[in-house]
């Protein structure tokens, strides 16, 4: 009981701050993606398949000028915008730590399932992805600047200027961290929904948000924004989003499945349709009459 009250006190003290950070994380992440897409990616030149195969079609081993030179020049000239947009994205990812950690700790307190794996996902994945994204943007800008200012603009020169172990390590970290944040959001959403901390709508929305970190259907993270906004509004009590009962109870209150809800409704309907018949009170048995003295005297006279 003391542990439950202590956990409820911690959650109550942190709820407002976590709610604000959840909303800020979703909005900041979306703004950063908008900056990168609108100001940089939509204007960047692309290297098509035909451009890449042109040297081979002319019998040359490699082009005297690599087709990606124009792309490198663009990246170098738009370095400030790229780094600024990536910095905003990284800030949004770092702020995601608080709502993910808050949900994870609340779920553990109610389910008793202490997992180091879920703790690692909730505490360290989003900052790692944010730092790796920012480092990759800086290294990529430096490599593009080095390539356009060197004399060798061939494909070999591009590979030597933009490759290397640092780029390879950052690419691996980015890939693993992106996969890990998807797993984190999906796992925390499922477990929080299972103990009743999230409604079914919010739990399913969180699962979709986690999947979309890996599989990009739309260029903007709109589902992620809606999920973090929903978490923040639920914690702050905004927009009519109230906290499910498991928050106040301090214990797991799982949501009933559709089959269980139907059974509950049927049993309630049967219970409501029954009419209780009034109990029939049986009459009390009449007390046995004892023999009177006069009748006993008459029996004695007859015997005599």
Q: Could you tell me the residue range of the domain that residue 144 belongs to?
A: 2-45+64-249
Task: Identify whether 226 is part of a domain.
Answer: yes
More confident residue, 166 or 67: 166
Task: Identify whether 78 is part of a domain.
Answer: yes
**Number of domains comprising the chain:** 1
Whether 63 shows a pLDDT value over 70: the answer reads no
Whether 201 shows a pLDDT value over 50: the answer reads yes
Whether 20 shows a pLDDT value over 80: the answer reads yes
Task: Identify whether 270 is part of a domain.
Answer: no
Task: Identify whether 32 is part of a domain.
Answer: yes
Task: Identify whether 195 is part of a domain.
Answer: yes
Mean pLDDT, the chain, integer? 84
Helices 79-95, 2-36: inter-axial angle, 10-degree rounding: 160
Which two three-digit tokens encode residue 65? 């000028």
The reported pLDDT for the residue numbered 47 is: 65
The reported pLDDT for the residue numbered 24 is: 98
Task: Identify whether 114 is part of a domain.
Answer: yes
CA-closest candidate to residue 221, choices 148, 149, 285, 126: 126
Question: At a CB cut-off of 8 Å and minimum separation 6, what does 28 contact?
Answer: 88, 89, 91, 92, 95
Task: Identify whether 261 is part of a domain.
Answer: no
The reported pLDDT for the residue numbered 214 is: 94
- Which pLDDT band, with edges at 50, 70 and 90, does 278 fall under? very low
Give the model confidence (pLDDT) of 215-252 as tens digits: 988 888 999 999 999 999 999 999 888 999 999 999 99
- Which pLDDT band, with edges at 50, 70 and 90, does 2 fall under? confident
Task: Identify whether 144 is part of a domain.
Answer: yes
Mean pLDDT for the stretch of residues 283-301: 45
């Amino acid at each position: 009981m003391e542990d439950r009250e202590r956990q409820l006190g911690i959650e109550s003290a942190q709820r407002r701050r976590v709610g604000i950070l959840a909303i800020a994380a979703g909005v900041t992440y979306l703004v950063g993606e908008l900056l990168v897409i609108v100001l940089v990616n939509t204007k960047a030149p692309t290297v098509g398949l035909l451009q890449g195969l042109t040297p081979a079609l002319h019998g040359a081993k490699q082009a005297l000028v690599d087709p990606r030179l124009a792309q490198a020049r663009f990246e170098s000239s738009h370095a400030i915008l790229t780094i600024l947009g990536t910095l905003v994205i990284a800030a949004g990812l770092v702020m995601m730590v608080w709502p993910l950690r808050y949900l994870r700790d609340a779920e553990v307190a109610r389910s008793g399932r202490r997992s180091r794996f879920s703790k690692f996902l909730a505490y360290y994945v989003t900052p790692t992805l944010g730092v790796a994204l920012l480092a990759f943007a800086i290294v990529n800008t430096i490599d593009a600047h080095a390539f356009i200012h060197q004399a060798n603009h061939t494909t070999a020169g591009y590979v030597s200027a933009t490759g290397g172990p640092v780029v390879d390590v950052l690419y691996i970290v980015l890939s693993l961290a992106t996969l890990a944040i998807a797993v984190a959001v999906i796992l925390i959403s499922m477990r929080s929904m299972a103990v009743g901390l999230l409604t079914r709508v919010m739990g399913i929305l969180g699962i979709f948000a986690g999947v979309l970190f890996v599989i990009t259907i739309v260029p903007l993270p709109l589902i992620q924004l809606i999920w973090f906004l929903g978490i923040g509004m639920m914690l702050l009590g905004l927009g009519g989003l109230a906290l499910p009962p498991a928050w106040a109870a301090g214990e797991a209150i799982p949501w009933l499945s559709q089959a269980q809800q139907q059974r509950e409704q049927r049993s309630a309907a049967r219970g409501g349709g029954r009419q209780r018949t009034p109990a029939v009170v049986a009459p009390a048995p009449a007390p046995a009459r004892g023999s009177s003295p006069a009748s006993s005297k008459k029996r004695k006279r007859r015997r005599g």
